[in-house]
Amino acid sequence: MFDKLSIKELTIAITLICGVVFTFLLVIMYILDAAMINILVSSLGLLVSLLIIYFLVYFLLNKYVYNKLRVIYKFIHDSKVKNSLKNANTNTINSLDEVNKEVMKWASDTQKRIESLQTLAEYRKNFVGNVSHELKTPIFSLQGYLHTLLDGGIYDENINIKYISKAAENADRLQHIVEDLESIGDMESGKKELNIVKFDIYELIKDVFADQRRAAKKQNVNLKIGSSAELPLYVRGDVEAIRQVLNNLVTNTLKYGEEGGVTEISIYDMHKNILVEVSDDGIGIEDQHIEHLFDRFYRVDSSRSRLKGGSGLGLSIVKHIVESHNQTINVRSTVGEGSTFGFTLEKA
């Protein structure tokens, strides 16, 4: 009831309550002994008492409550990040209820920011550890091959070419990791601008399959295109960026799918958007790994992933590219049956 009142209104309310109590006491005294009370004098005394109470209460509330609340209120407003709140008038407190709401909201927002910073700090710590781990393997391998060559292996025809080739492979792997990290950094910072154009997604998929044909043949994987939409099917996006998305997803199906299996890209008309799904009939992914698939350097099977090569950043790049188009990507998988990655694009 009183929490919605301003300082002045609260003072008046307290004064009126005191006045009612005093009046009640005067009436009781008058009833008990009328001769003891001069009504006029009592009324004037009551009025003077109420004025004294009013100014006394107002002074005390203003000095010991209002000024302290104003400091807290100003601190909260100055802590806001929105300009509209920063420019608000912090010298006026409308009611204790509003102050309470403002304090509770500020406390809630602050707690969320703290939790977000803690999550970010943990993510950065894990990221640094993952980067170090990913770089360590090719660097150690590179050092091993080069030192062996320097120690005389360069003159051994049985190993020199082999070791130089292995050193070159690890150097290439390092380069891929650095390039992928730079690519993600550019996308996050907005340095890498998208060249949005209208293009035929079906023709792009055929180009990607043509690029992947050799790798698919090596794995004895059959590449298929399925579509429930009328062709040609035009979308809006950055052609080269979407080509990278498709290449990364198809490469994943070849790396982790079963030999002799099928990789299929299906296209669906979703009215305003086009849904593109890349599926395989491989080993599938367990549920506990699904939510982390797009994390940097996350590997479902570390030993198998490193054996197959790659930077461990492919799916993270895919997610960044799709989201930079203001679209979404998802994955569903069944262990023993295969996985499907689906992303949307704006229909042109």
Q: Is residue 114 part of a domain?
A: no
Residues 240 and 340 grouped into a single domain: yes
Residue 276: pLDDT band by 50, 70, 90 thresholds? very high
One domain for residues 225 and 181: no
Residue 274 and residue 266 in contact, taking contact as beta carbons nearer than 8 Å: no
- On average, the pLDDT of the chain sits at 76
Alpha carbons 231 and 294: distance in angstroms, whole number: 31
Domain membership flag for residue 124: no
Range from 91-95, 126-130, 144-148 carrying the lowest mean pLDDT: 91-95
User: What is the rounded CA–CA span in Å between residue 259 and residue 218?
Assistant: 9
The greatest distance separating any two alpha carbons of the chain, rounded to the nearest whole angstrom, comes to 131
Q: What was the pLDDT predicted at 265?
A: 92
Q: Could you tell me if residue 112 is inside a domain?
A: no
* Residues 198 and 237 sit within 8 Å (Cβ to Cβ): no
- What range defines the domain where residue 13 resides? 2-94
List strand residue ranges (DSSP E) for the chain, in order.
196-200, 222-227, 234-238, 262-270, 273-280, 329-334, 338-347
Given 121, 155, 189, the domain boundary residue is 189
d(C-alpha 9, C-alpha 312), whole Å: 65
136/250 same-domain check = no
pLDDT at 273: 92
For residues 135 and 151, state if they share a domain. Answer: yes
User: Which domain CATH number covers 278?
Assistant: 3.30.565.10
Residues 48-71: what's their mean pLDDT?
66
CATH number of the domain within which 154 lies: 1.10.287.130
Residues 14 and 53 occupy one common structural domain: yes
Model pLDDT, residue 85? 42
Name the CA radius of gyration of the chain, rounded: 36
pLDDT at 75: 62
Q: Is residue 221 a contact partner of residue 242, using CB atoms and an 8 Å limit?
A: no
Pick the more confident residue, 114 or 207: 207
Provide the domain count of the chain: 3
> What angle do the packed helices 314-324 and 239-256 form, to 10 degrees?
150
- Same domain for 334 and 229: yes
pLDDT attached to residue 307 = 47
Higher pLDDT, 125 or 113: 113
- Looking at the structure, do residues 333 and 203 belong to the same domain, yes or no? yes
- Same-domain check for residues 333 and 208: yes
In a shared domain, residues 202 and 184 = no
Distance between CA atoms of 173 and 282, rounded to whole angstroms?
Answer: 25
Residue where a domain stops, chosen among 141, 158, 189: 189
Do 184 and 209 belong to one domain? no
Residues 156 and 246 in one domain: no
Element (H, E) at 171: helix 160-189
Domain boundary pick from 94, 121, 137: 94
Q: Rounded distance, CA 184 to CA 239, Å?
A: 18
Q: Tell me if 301 is assigned to some domain.
A: yes
User: 64-79: per-residue pLDDT in tens?
Assistant: 566 666 666 666 666 5
337 with 239, same domain: the answer is: yes
Q: Is residue 103 one of the residues assigned to a domain?
A: no
| Any domain includes 102 | no
Does the pTM exceed 0.95?
no
319 within some domain: yes
In the structure encoding, which two tokens stand for residue 222, read together? 């059959």
pLDDT in tens, 220-273: 899 988 876 677 889 999 999 999 999 999 988 888 777 888 999 999 988 889
Residue 70 lies in a domain: yes
